[in-house]
Amino acid sequence: MATPKDTTPVQEIRPTTQELRIPERFIPTPTIEPGHNFATITDHISSIVLRRKTPVGWFIGLLIAMGGVGLLSVSISYLVGKGVGIWGINHPVGWGMDIINFVWWIGIGHAGTLISAILLLLRQDWRTSINRFAEAMTLFAVASAGLYPALHTGRPWYDYWLFPYPNTMGLWPQFRSPLMWDVFAVSTYATVSLLFWYVGLIPDLATLRDRARNLWIKRVYGMFAMGWRGSARHWHRYEHAYLLLAGLSTPLVLSVHTIVSFDFAVAQIPGWHATFFPPYFVAGAVFAGFAMVLTLAIPARKFFRLEDFITMKHLENMGKILLATGLIVVYAYAMEWFYGWYSGNPFEIYMLKNRSTGPYMSMYAALWICNGLAPQLMWFKRFRTSTFWLFVVAMFVNVGMWLERFVIIPASLHRDFLPSSWGMYHGTFWDWSMFIGSIGLFFALLFLFVRILPMISIFEMRTLLPEAQAHTEEEGAH
């Protein structure tokens, strides 16, 4: 039988916009630049993964990240060997950068699922080109976050006591504790995000399986593709499952940071004990998450020439989201003052006084600048549409969200009820080394991801093309 190999190079097929019959609304800021078809999309994205030669920049980046991982492992060994005393924590400040970083990472870990799930339900098809990337980021952020609760305990080798299992002590976890809620929320979130991400990957893994030339690489991708063959029935169930997952992830993603906020809201320390923490934290998480997506997407699209797929439309939308969530966060900051004043409670009032004029006032001021002022630039289109300014603002927000957690955790603890036990908190070398290390871990994973997996969902990109539209007669009729 004749089997002519399809060797048509990418450049040859470049129909014009007219030929592609691209709807008007796409022209100004399209989610995908004109001139693409199934083949070009497929080849471009998969080639990033499959091309033989790895760019030098990637190696350099991975090397630096791996340095961070090294630092992390040193810090962890020293921590387990010596005790949490190597950190700056003390009485009264029992939680320092360990929990700050945990909350910070978890917050960042929200964008992915949010983009994938909620924007999917909202039929925001511009999400398509960034969701894969964001989901990966989520997973790696949650991985970094997970380090801290596990290692912040005084005796980490007994952490397994937090899991309910029948034991010779006849003891069980104490489920009234928000930390137990954390255990379940974070592990569920990690698992579901992983599944969601993997399900999204299956058809693309099949694509890579078919594109790869080396048999073993084919087999590896083939193994994870689980023999996906694009059957119509499979596609149907697949989309159904994906939609259900999205539906499940949406409340999940909201619950996770709600529960993280309970760690504080349930306690009665002034500055923690506030009923509006859940929405406040969730908004903060989205805020932080999108900032991190921008921080990563802007360099990535440049480096891998993905401007065609991650267009200015995406960046601008994310800028708008930054602005929206940023305003919610600022509202929360304002409410803290209102509640403090309205309660007339001396402890609350002093807590606010101490935040704004106490030893950590500089932190609090910086927090307002980063999370309050910087995002306001997003009101203006010329900032929203400038990758430089977007990146700058995103960086401000990243820092700001870390400061927010600092202000909430140590700055509330260090002066609580009895002045006799007031104290100060300062991060030590090991606090910072562990933080930097976790960032290293995050980026190391990210670098590996972009090298071995498609950072943009290929099959979903295909559906964005007008050719993807097909109609049965009945539909065609009217």
Partner 1 sequence: MSDDNKLDFQQFRERVGDLRGKEYWRSLEELSRSEVFDEFFQSEFPQQALPLEKGVDRRDFVKLMGASVAMAGLTACRAPNETIIPYVNQPENLIPGRPLFFASAMPLGGYATGVLVESHMGRPTKIEGNPDHPSSLGASNSFQQASILGLYDPDRSQVVRRAGEISTWSEFVAALQPLLSAARTNGAGLRILTQTITSPSLGAQIQQMLTQYPGARWHQWEPVSGDNAREGARVAFGGYANVIYDFTKANVVVSLGSDFLSEGPAHLRYARDFSARRRVRQGDARPMNRLYAIEASPTNTGSVADHRFPVRPSEIESWARQVLAALGGAAAVPAADATPATPVAPQAMARDLAANRGASIVIAGEDQPPAVHALAHALNSALGNIGSTVLITDPVEVAPVNQLESIRQLVTDMNAGAVQTLVILGGNPAFDAPADFNFGGAYQKVPFRAHLSLYYDETSMLSHWHIPETHYLETWGDGRGHDGTVSIIQPLIAPLYNGRAASEVIGALVGGLDATPYQAVRNYWFGRGATEATWRQWLHDGLINGSALPARGATGAPPAVSTMDTVGAPQDGLELIIRHDPTIYDGRFANNAWLQELPKPNTKITWDNVMLMGPGTAEDLGFGGRERDPLVNERRTRMAELQHGNVRMELPVWVLPGHAEGAVTIFYGYGRRQGGEVATVKGPGFDTYPFRRSTTMHGGPGATVTMRSGSVYPIACTQEHQSIDPKIVGDRNIVRAATFAEYQTNPGFAHQGHHAEFELSDASMYPPFQYTGHAWAMAIDTTLCTGCNGCVAACVAENNISVVGKEEVVREREMHWLRIDRYFKGDPGNPEIYHQPVPCMQCENAPCEPVCPVAATSHSEEGLNDMTYNRCVGTRYCSNNCPYKVRRFNFFHYADYDTPALKPMRNPDVTVRTRGVMEKCTYCVQRINHARIEAAKQDRRVRDGEVVTACQQACPTQAIVFGDMNDPGSGVAQLKKEPTNYALLGELNTRPRTTYLATIRNPNPELAAAAAAGKAEAH
Partner 2 sequence: MGGIGKPIEGLYGVIGEFGDAQSLLDAATAAREQGYRDVDAFSPFPIHGLAEAVGFRKSHLSTIVLTMGLIGGLGGYFMQWYANVVAYPLNIGGKPYNSWPAWIPITFECAILLAAFGAVFGMLALNGLPMPYHPVFNVPRFDQASRDKFFLVIQARDPKFQLDEVRDFFDRLNPREIVDVPW
Partner 3 sequence: MAQIFHRSANTLSRVTIFGAIFIAGFILWVIGGIVRSPYFTNQGVQREQAVPFSHQHHVGGLGIDCRYCHTSVETSSFAGIPPTSTCMNCHSQIWTNAAVLEPVRQSFASGQSLQWNRVHRVPDFVHFNHSIHVAKGIGCASCHGRVDRMNLVYQATPMTMEWCLSCHRNPEKFVRPRDQVFNMDYVPVNQKQLGPQLVKQYNIRKLTSCSTCHY
Residues found near partner 3 in the complex (CB under 8 A)? 165-171, 209-210, 215, 218-219, 222-223, 226-227
Q: Binding to partner 1 (CB under 8 A): which residues in 322-351?
A: 346-347, 350
Nearer to partner 2, 138 or 207 (CB): 207
- 215, interface contact from partner 1, partner 2, partner 3, none, CB < 5-8 Å by kind: partner 3
Contact assessment for residue 322 and residue 393, using Cβ atoms and an 8 Å cutoff:
yes
Taking CB under 8 A as the criterion, the residue among 15, 55, 70, 85 binding partner 1 is 85
- 167, interface contact from partner 3, partner 1, partner 2, none, CB < 5-8 Å by kind: partner 3
- 188, interface contact from partner 3, partner 2, partner 1, none, CB < 5-8 Å by kind: partner 2
Nearer to partner 2, 235 or 338 (CB): 235
- In single-letter form, the type of residue at position 227 comes to G
Least distance from partner 3 to the Cβ atom of residue 48, Å: 22
Stretch that binds partner 1, among 47-55, 69-77, 165-173, 248-256 (CB under 8 A): 165-173
Least distance from partner 3 to the Cβ atom of residue 163, Å: 11
Q: Binding to partner 1 (CB under 8 A): which residues in 423-442?
A: 423-424
Least distance from partner 1 to the Cβ atom of residue 149, Å: 8
Q: How far apart are the first and last CA of the chain?
A: 41
Nearer to partner 3, 17 or 214 (CB): 214
From 421, 381, 138, 394, select the one nearest 257 (Cα to Cα): 138
Number of residues that bind partner 1 (CB under 8 A): 49
Least distance from partner 1 to the Cβ atom of residue 198, Å: 30
Contacts of 188 (CB under 8 A, 6+ apart): 252, 256
Nearer to partner 3, 216 or 388 (CB): 216
Residue 272 φ/ψ, nearest 5 degrees: -110, -40
The CB-side HSE value for 296 (13 A sphere, CA atoms) comes to 30
From 408, 100, 414, select the one nearest 265 (Cα to Cα): 408
- In single-letter form, the type of residue at position 446 comes to L
Opening angle at CA 248, ends 245 and 252, nearest 5: 125
Rounded Cα distance between 307 and 456, Å, is 12
Nearer to partner 2, 52 or 176 (CB): 176
Rounded Cα distance between 83 and 268, Å, is 27
Nearer to partner 1, 85 or 466 (CB): 85
Rounded Cα distance between 314 and 297, Å, is 10
Contacts of 476 (CB under 8 A, 6+ apart): none
Opening angle at CA 362, ends 357 and 364, nearest 5: 75
Contact between 269 and partner 1 per CB under 8 A: yes
Taking CB under 8 A as the criterion, the residue among 37, 40, 124, 153 binding partner 1 is 153
- 361, interface contact from partner 3, partner 1, partner 2, none, CB < 5-8 Å by kind: none
3-state class of 308 per DSSP?
A: coil
Least distance from partner 1 to the Cβ atom of residue 425, Å: 9
- 432, interface contact from partner 3, partner 1, partner 2, none, CB < 5-8 Å by kind: none
Please give the full DSSP string across 2-63, using - where no structure is assigned: --------GGG----HHHHT--GGGSSS-SS-SS--HHHHHHHHHHHHH-SSPPHHHHHHHH
Least distance from partner 2 to the Cβ atom of residue 365, Å: 35
Nearer to partner 2, 33 or 467 (CB): 467
Least distance from partner 3 to the Cβ atom of residue 219, Å: 6
Least distance from partner 3 to the Cβ atom of residue 171, Å: 7
Rounded Cα distance between 119 and 121, Å, is 5
Least distance from partner 2 to the Cβ atom of residue 42, Å: 5
Opening angle at CA 312, ends 49 and 26, nearest 5: 100
From 261, 285, 256, select the one nearest 185 (Cα to Cα): 256
**Which residue's structure tokens are 């190597």?**
86
Contact between 164 and partner 1 per CB under 8 A: no
- 38, interface contact from partner 1, partner 2, partner 3, none, CB < 5-8 Å by kind: partner 2
Give the interface with partner 1 as residue ranges (CB under 8 A): 82-85, 88-92, 94-95, 152-156, 158-159, 161-162, 171-174, 176-180, 183, 263, 266-269, 346-347, 350, 359, 413, 416-424
